[in-house]
């Protein structure tokens, strides 16, 4: 719970105002208790004169206050009559309750921006953290579970914790004020009531001890359900093509039922609190009526004093219920807090050193020196003592079977992961010693999967590049053979391309990513074969665009179709994370080993 306090720090002024208003509201609420006393005195003493009641002692404390109050209102009744005195008391009650409700509204008024601001801050921090976390974090997490944390868990925090904070702030003040008045009236009766309340609280408190754990389990199951829905929507074509609807339906039904059972247990445990607390409250009131009535009969308390005490007691009951409900909600919400905090406090494995070096350009070469790397929880290393050099202006191609380590090399260069041993240098500087943002600014990436966003054509081409003109965007599109199909679209460059570019063909999507790389104009290109999933016509158009992109640039090319890298300055052949052959296309064909076999297989 205390870890949430730092999220309230930016709103301390509003919180201070809310606390002040709650204090004033509580003061008016507590004042309303003794104001009721004169009303009861008028009802029970209609025919009294300005003499004091002989049954009430004079002295200090509440007895003295009661005596002075009776003297004043007896005199008022004698001079003005019962109706006039009653009108004065009613006016006092109206004034007191107006003040109470005015400050109650003001406290909620000041808390509203705090509540919404904290939820907004949670969401913003989640997005900021996700953008900072390394790719290794996401390889161990389900996308649906992360989406659940961002949406339902943050919403649970708003409902269960932030939404009840006004009760946490306000109700203790009301309870303490009412208890203070009760002690002032009758310490012995208050001690008796307090003992009953403690006994009741212990019984009710035992119900909510497991809510936090159960809520965390339920939120985890919800994350898995969201993940299943995301997988289902993304794989509908395969699910239908393999007649796997029944299998996917059963998977979802199993998790959905388990989640429903978890929620049922939580709701049953939570819902029993209200009827149980009401029943125990009636028991406490019944015992209190019996005990207090005995004191009235014995003359220790007057009837109006006891009724006032009961009113003060009921002023404790409702705030106590609200406070108890708030504690239940907080316990339930802490499960969501822990899941959100797991993301916010995740270790940033890849970060800049405090004295990171500047790197404003690329002038010499990129080197991999005895680089070894293994993914977390992998059975074997992805790379083992790999050494290669990429001189400026040269094109180096990586070939090999799936799992040979080609994509791993491409991911290590922009520092999506850090090497386990060895080093990668650019112009002699270890990439772990330079600023990551400046390192990645030197590189452009065109991947096999065209990654586009649900935005306009213009914004997708200009993605990540600031202050570019429309002319520069169109020039990049023309160089990527994309201008013709763009202008034919309704809206042209302002047309929305849909989720992940769903309104475009595969070749069109790939040409947009090439236009994006051309606009960035990076000195180093990482090219994961962009034509392997295209038809012949689209492949030809994309290949022409790639040739323009590669001109006068340093390139690391991952090759799936070996015909596309025959002009590379050096071809690196990988097998199980090791370099097994290297050379030009001609020299490797003459050796007649692994590369020659791969070329012959693709020629069949």
Beta strands in 30-87 (DSSP E): none
Whole-angstrom CA distances from 302 to 45, 50, 60 are 12, 18, 16
Say if residue 116's pLDDT is above 80: yes
| DSSP letter string, 294-363 | HHHHTTSS-HHHHHHHHHHHHHHHHHHHHHHHHHHHHHHHHHHHHHHHHHHT---SS---TTPBP-----
Poorest-pLDDT segment among 217-221, 580-584, 586-590? 217-221
Q: How confident is the model at residue 50, as a pLDDT?
A: 42
Residue carrying the six token digits 């339906």 = 249
For residue 368, what pLDDT band results from cuts at 50, 70 and 90?
A: very high
What per-residue confidence (pLDDT) applies to 530? 64
Is the model's pLDDT at 424 over the cut of 90?
Answer: yes
Would residue 243 be called left, alpha or beta, if left means φ above 0 and alpha means ψ between -120 and 50 degrees? left
Q: How high is the pLDDT of residue 202?
A: 67
d(CA 397, CA 98): 80
Q: Sheet holding 395-400: strands in order across?
A: 443-446, 524-528, 554-558, 395-400, 570-575, 578-583
Q: Which two tokens stand for residue 179?
A: 């208890």
State the Cα–Cα distance between residues 280 and 164, nearest whole angstrom: 23
pLDDT of residue 52: 42
Q: Is 156 helix (H, G, I), strand (E, B) or coil?
A: helix
Lowest mean pLDDT among 114-128, 327-341, 396-410: 327-341
pLDDT at 157 over 60: yes
CA distance 368 to 389: 6
345 pLDDT more than 70 = yes
Q: What is the pLDDT of residue 107?
A: 86
Q: Classify residue 40 by its DSSP letter.
A: H
- Give one DSSP letter per residue of 109-153, joined into a string: HHHHHHHHHHHHHHHHHHHHHHHHS-HHHHHTS-HHHHHHIIIII
Distance CA 427, CA 414 (A): 14
Beta-ladder partners of 391? 365
Across 445-461, b (16+ Cβ under 10 Å) vs e yields bbbeebebeeebbbebb
Please give the residue that has the higher pLDDT: either 498 or 70.
Answer: 498
- pLDDT value of position 53: 42
What is the band of 49 on the pLDDT scale with cuts at 50, 70, 90? very low
CA 4 to chain CA centroid, Å, is 13
Q: What value does the mean pLDDT take over residues 489-509?
A: 87
**pLDDT score, position 396:** 92
For range 339-360, the mean pLDDT: 85
* Calpha distance 82→78 (Å, rounded): 8
Which class for 70: exposed (0-12), middle (13-18), buried (19 or more C-beta within 10 A)?
A: buried
Mean pLDDT in the chain? 80
pLDDT value of residue 592: 76
Stated as kind and residue range, the H or E segment containing 447 is none
pLDDT above 60: residue 95: yes
Categorize the per-residue pLDDT at 55 as very low, low, confident or very high, splitting at 50, 70 and 90: very low
Query: Looking at residues 24-53, what average pLDDT do you find?
Result: 63
Using DSSP bridges, classify how beta strands 443-446 and 570-575 pair: parallel, antiparallel or unpaired.
unpaired
On whether the CB atoms of residues 408 and 578 are closer than 8 A, the answer is no
Going across the sheet that includes 429-430, the strands are: 383-391, 365-373, 421-426, 429-430
The per-residue pLDDT for 43 is: 59
**Structural domains of the chain ordered from first start:** 12-344 (1.20.1560.10), 365-603 (3.40.50.300)
Average pLDDT over residues 271-300: 76
CA 408/CA 383 separation, integer angstroms? 8
Q: Is residue 209 over pLDDT 60?
A: no
What is the pLDDT confidence band of residue 54, given thresholds at 50, 70 and 90? very low
- Phi-psi region at 109: left, alpha or beta (left = phi > 0; alpha = psi -120 to 50): alpha
Residue 193 has pLDDT above 60, yes or no: yes
- SS3 of residue 527 by DSSP: strand
Query: Tell me, what's the pLDDT at 204?
Result: 59
Q: Which helix (H) or strand (E) holds 38?
A: helix 12-44
**pLDDT band at residue 580 using 50, 70 and 90 as cut-offs:** very high
Least confident window among 272-276, 332-336, 398-402, 501-505: 272-276
Please name which of 560, 500, 502, 511 lies closest in space to residue 539, comparing C-alpha atoms: 511
**Closest by Cα among 524, 583, 557 to 393:** 524
CA distance 368 to 385: 9
121-136 pLDDT, tens digit each: 888 888 888 888 887 7
Model confidence band, residue 237 (pLDDT cutoffs 50, 70, 90): low
> Helices 245-271 and 211-234 meet at what angle, rounded to 10?
160
pLDDT band at 286 (very low <50, low <70, confident <90, very high): confident
First to last CA, the chain: 66
Length of the chain: 604
Confidence band of 37 (pLDDT split at 50, 70, 90) = low
Q: Calculate mean pLDDT across residues 435-463.
A: 87
d(CA 282, CA 232): 52
Say which range, 16-25, 211-220, 253-262, has the weakest mean pLDDT.
Answer: 211-220
Q: Give the model's pLDDT for residue 313.
A: 79
Confidence class for position 48, pLDDT limits 50, 70, 90: very low
């Amino acid at each position: 719970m205390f870890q949430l306090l730092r999220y309230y720090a930016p709103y301390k002024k509003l919180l201070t105002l809310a606390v002040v208003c709650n204090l004033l509201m509580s003061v008016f609420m507590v004042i309303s208790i003794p104001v009721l006393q004169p009303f009861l005195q008028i009802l029970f003493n209609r025919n009294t004169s300005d003499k004091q009641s002989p049954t009430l002692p004079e002295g200090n404390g509440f007895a003295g206050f009661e005596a002075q109050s009776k003297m004043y209102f007896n005199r008022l009744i004698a001079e003005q009559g019962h109706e006039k005195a009653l009108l004065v008391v009613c006016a006092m009650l109206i004034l007191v309750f107006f003040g109470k409700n005015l400050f109650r509204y003001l406290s909620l008024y000041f808390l509203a921006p705090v509540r919404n601001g904290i939820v907004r801050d949670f969401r913003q921090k989640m997005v900021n953290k996700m953008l900072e976390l390394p790719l290794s974090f996401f390889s161990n997490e389900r996308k649906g579970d992360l989406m659940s944390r961002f949406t339902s868990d943050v919403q649970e925090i708003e409902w269960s914790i932030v939404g009840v904070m006004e009760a946490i702030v306000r109700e203790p003040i009301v309870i303490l004020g009412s208890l203070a008045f009760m002690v002032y009236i009758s310490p012995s009766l208050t001690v008796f009531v307090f003992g009953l309340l403690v006994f009741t609280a212990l019984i009710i408190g035992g119900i909510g001890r497991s809510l936090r754990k159960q809520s965390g389990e339920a939120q985890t199951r919800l994350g898995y359900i969201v993940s299943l829905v995301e997988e289902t929507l993304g794989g509908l074509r395969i699910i239908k093509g393999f007649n796997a609807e029944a299998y996917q339906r059963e998977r979802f039904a199993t998790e959905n039922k388990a989640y429903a059972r978890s929620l049922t247990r939580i709701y049953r445990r939570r819902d029993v609190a209200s009827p149980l607390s009401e029943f125990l409250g009636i028991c406490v009131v019944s015992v209190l009526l019996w005990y207090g009535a005995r004191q009235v009969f014995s003359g220790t308390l007057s009837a109006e004093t006891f009724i006032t005490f009961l009113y003060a007691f009921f002023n404790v009951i409702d705030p106590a219920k609200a406070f108890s409900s708030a504690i239940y909600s907080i316990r339930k919400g802490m499960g969501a807090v822990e899941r959100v905090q797991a993301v916010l406090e995740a270790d940033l494995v890849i970060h800049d050193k405090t004295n990171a070096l500047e790197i404003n350009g690329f002038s010499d070469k990129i080197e991999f020196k005895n680089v070894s790397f293994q993914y977390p929880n992998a059975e074997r290393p992805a790379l083992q003592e790999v050494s290669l050099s990429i001189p400026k202006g040269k094109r180096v191609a990586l070939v090999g079977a799936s799992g040979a380590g080609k994509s791993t090399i491409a991911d290590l260069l922009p520092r999506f992961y850090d090497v386990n041993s060895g080093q990668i240098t650019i112009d002699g500087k270890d990439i772990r010693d330079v600023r990551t943002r400046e390192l990645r600014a030197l590189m452009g990436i065109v991947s096999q999967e065209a990654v586009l966003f649900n935005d306009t054509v213009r914004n997708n081409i200009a993605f990540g590049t600031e202050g570019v003109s429309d002319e520069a965007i169109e020039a990049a599109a023309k160089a990527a053979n994309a201008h013709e199909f763009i202008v034919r679209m309704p809206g042209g460059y302002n047309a929305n391309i849909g989720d992940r570019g769903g309104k475009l063909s595969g070749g069109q999507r790939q040409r947009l990513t090439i236009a994006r790389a051309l606009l960035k104009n990076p000195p180093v290109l990482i090219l994961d074969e962009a034509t392997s999933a295209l038809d012949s016509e689209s492949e030809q158009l994309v290949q022409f665009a790639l040739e323009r992109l590669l001109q006068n640039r340093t390139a690391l090319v991952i090759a799936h179709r070996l015909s596309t890298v025959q002009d590379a300055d050096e071809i690196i052949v990988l097998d199980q994370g090791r370099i097994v052959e290297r050379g030009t296309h001609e020299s490797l064909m003459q050796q007649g080993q692994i590369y020659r076999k791969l070329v012959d297989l693709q020629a069949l």
